Structure 1
Amino acid sequence: MPPAGRRLRAERLAPYALVAPAVLVVVALRLYPLALGVNFSFTGDGERDGTAVGLDNYATLFDDPLFLGALRNVGLLVLLLPVAVAIPGLLATFIYLRVPGHRLFRGVYFFPAVLSPVIAGAIFNLLLAFDGPANALLGTVGLGPVDWLGDPDVALFAVVGVHVWATFGMALVVFLAGFATLDPSLLDAARIDGAALPRLLRHVIVPGLTRTIQFVFVTTMIGLLTSMFGLLYVMTGGGPGGATYLPEYYIWIQQGQLDRPALASAASTVLFLVMVVVGLLQISLLRRSGRVD
């Protein structure tokens, strides 16, 4: 083969050679274990350990009120997702536009992210106790105490609020990086035209950060569905009455407490499918709203 042909062939193969190590890592550490877990979900536990049981584990899951409650809580988290994205997005906007107090935001916004979930949960256990500072503050304005962690209608919202507080720093960093790609002349033109902050957000900032918003939506969803175990374990233990169960906590109970790894694998498979479906729906909705190309 002539030297020019060999050079052209090498140039064509170079991208594949560069991505091959990453692909191998993903296959070995992600896809292969995922396939093993899915396969394991079709086997039995206890006396039927290693025996093929078909869809028995999935039938058991969807007959379990705790698991069905965990799935309902996933639906609630999806509804709360826009709020969890809007909070760091607005704070990043305040920092970027240098509104009064932006120096304080810039100095302290990342502090919660350095705390472990156990520490954050322990702090808010004290703050949200029935006789704690939060209820004392409510009492000063004439409002009755709230059983933040003991009321089934309130507990999950309290835990999600703590999770958002503890993790919004990472999303805010991503938003600030997105603002670095925003054309400042667009903002200047809008200001000259007298556009207020709501119009800046709607017509300049949101369209200019479409990819960033999409990325934050997906990563925040993954965090809500897979990174709340520490807070649940410390703050509520899945209670009261299973009201704060999420699939990841249910999986840990089945695997770590009840020694039912096959059932836990089935729950993990369902969680994975839920994440895929929710992620695809998010992308579809964002495209239909015109926010994603």
Structure 2
Amino acid sequence: MPIGEVQPSVRPARVGRTDGAAGAATRRGVARSRRGRGMRSERLAPYVLLAPAVLIIVLLRLYPLLLGVNFSFTGDGERNGVAVGLDNYLELLRDPLFRTALGNVGLLVLLLPVAVAIPGLLATFIYLRVPGHRLYRSVYFFPAVLSPVIVGAIFNLLLAFDGPVNAVLGSVGVGAVDWLGDPDVAMFVVVGVHVWATFGMGLVVFLAGFATLDSALLDAARVDGASLPQVIWHVIVPGLSRTIQFVFVTTMIGMLTSMFGLLYVMTSGGPEGSTYLPEYYIWIQQGQMNRPALASAASTVLFVIMLVVGLLQIKLLKRAAREV
């Protein structure tokens, strides 16, 4: 290098700082990647948890339901497996026993508010701690653990023409009533026995609903001088609207699908077919008449009835809760 020439200065590279910046960027990228995977996992977690339940419902509920509906459009006997269109449904409409069963369904829908009001009022009294409320809670629930066969046998003895109930009526000058042999009375008796045997479950649900009720509202109503009917109508009913909807729907389903044991033991569908319900009619067609396709059609009609009535009940109850 010539003597007068100035050598250019070379600035050393800052290796450590560059490596540190690159490392920080890498760590930020890894963190973002992990957060992305975590967010995806959180989004997928509900679907993974619900998948077994959905699979069970599809395989054990929806698929058999679709098979039953499809089977209802086929024939019985010599026409077994042959598509018959709406013949089974038309035969149901022509069958007086099935028409009686549908009429009894209408009766159950009319009596449903009573079946819900009984456990609701009893749960209200227990919640307000009437004397002996702990004893009442266990006593009211006890019938719910009894088999329908046992309940039916007990009431067959009590309601026999020469049984204890008619003996008590005779002692006060009232004539004996054929509780299970009179076509105009038998269905009301069976429904009453069913309500007695099952209202304990509704009672438990109402008590669980009361646990979510704001007690400050009740205290405010008492301070304002509200009577018990006013407290029930303006405080308890709006506060338990969701619970009431649930009890209405479950009670309706129970009345339409869980009375077979009582019907079989107490009346066997009699007298004169006056206590037929769709579930009993289905059993007769499937088990005794060997007509599974007709029974499938009746099952489909029962499912549609429960679906329509349940949706209408929920809609009416929501509207009533807004108006209260």
* TM-score of the superposed pair, with normalisation by structure 1: 0.97
Aligned partners of 1:41 and 1:263 also within 8 Å: yes
Which whole-Å deviations, capped at 9, do the CAs of 1:151-180 have from their partners, x for residues lacking one?
A: 111100100011011111111000000000
Q: Residue in 2 aligned with 1:176?
A: 207
> Letter of the aligned partner of 1:282 in structure 2?
Q
Match of 1:266 among 293, 297, 300: 297
Aligned partners of 2:282 and 2:299 also within 8 Å: yes
Task: Specify whether residues 237 and 292 from structure 1 end up closer, same or farther in structure 2 by C-alpha distance, changes over 3 A only.
Answer: farther
> Letter of the aligned partner of 1:149 in structure 2?
L
1:203 partnered with 2:251:
no
**CA distance in structure 2 between the partners assigned to 1:100 and 1:147 by the alignment:** 37
1:122 partnered with 2:168:
no
Q: Residue in 2 aligned with 1:70?
A: 101
Match of 1:14 among 33, 38, 45: 45
Q: Residue in 1 aligned with 2:82?
A: 51
The runs of 5 or more residues in structure 1 that have no matched partner are none
Q: Find the structure with the greater CA-based Rg.
A: 2
**CA distance in structure 1 between the partners assigned to 2:263 and 2:168 by the alignment:** 24
1:216 partnered with 2:247:
yes
Following superposition, the deviation at residue 10 of structure 1 comes to: 1.1
1:87 partnered with 2:118:
yes
**CA distance in structure 1 between the partners assigned to 2:323 and 2:255 by the alignment:** 22
Aligned partners of 2:209 and 2:240 also within 8 Å: yes
**CA distance in structure 2 between the partners assigned to 1:150 and 1:226 by the alignment:** 23
Match of 2:183 among 133, 152, 164: 152
Following superposition, the deviation at residue 199 of structure 1 comes to: 0.8
Identity of aligned residues (%): 81
**CA distance in structure 2 between the partners assigned to 1:145 and 1:280 by the alignment:** 42
Following superposition, the deviation at residue 17 of structure 1 comes to: 0.7
Match of 1:186 among 217, 221, 230: 217
**CA distance in structure 1 between the partners assigned to 2:42 and 2:241 by the alignment:** 33
**CA distance in structure 2 between the partners assigned to 1:3 and 1:193 by the alignment:** 58
**Misfit runs of 4+, over 2 Å:** 100-104, 290-293
Following superposition, the deviation at residue 291 of structure 1 comes to: 5.1
Task: Specify whether residues 291 and 111 from structure 1 end up closer, same or farther in structure 2 by C-alpha distance, changes over 3 A only.
Answer: farther
Counterpart secondary structure, 2:94: coil
Aligned partners of 2:179 and 2:186 also within 8 Å: yes
1:167 partnered with 2:198:
yes
Aligned partners of 2:148 and 2:262 also within 8 Å: yes
Aligned partners of 1:211 and 1:292 also within 8 Å: no
Following superposition, the deviation at residue 100 of structure 1 comes to: 3.1
The runs of 5 or more residues in structure 2 that have no matched partner are 1-31
Q: Structure 1 stretch 9-18 or stretch 62-71: which is displaced more?
A: 9-18
Q: Residue in 2 aligned with 1:255?
A: 286
> Letter of the aligned partner of 1:44 in structure 2?
G
Aligned partners of 1:174 and 1:212 also within 8 Å: yes
Counterpart secondary structure, 2:82: coil
Aligned partners of 2:241 and 2:318 also within 8 Å: no
Following superposition, the deviation at residue 196 of structure 1 comes to: 1.7
Counterpart secondary structure, 1:62: helix
Following superposition, the deviation at residue 7 of structure 1 comes to: 1.4
**CA distance in structure 1 between the partners assigned to 2:252 and 2:214 by the alignment:** 28
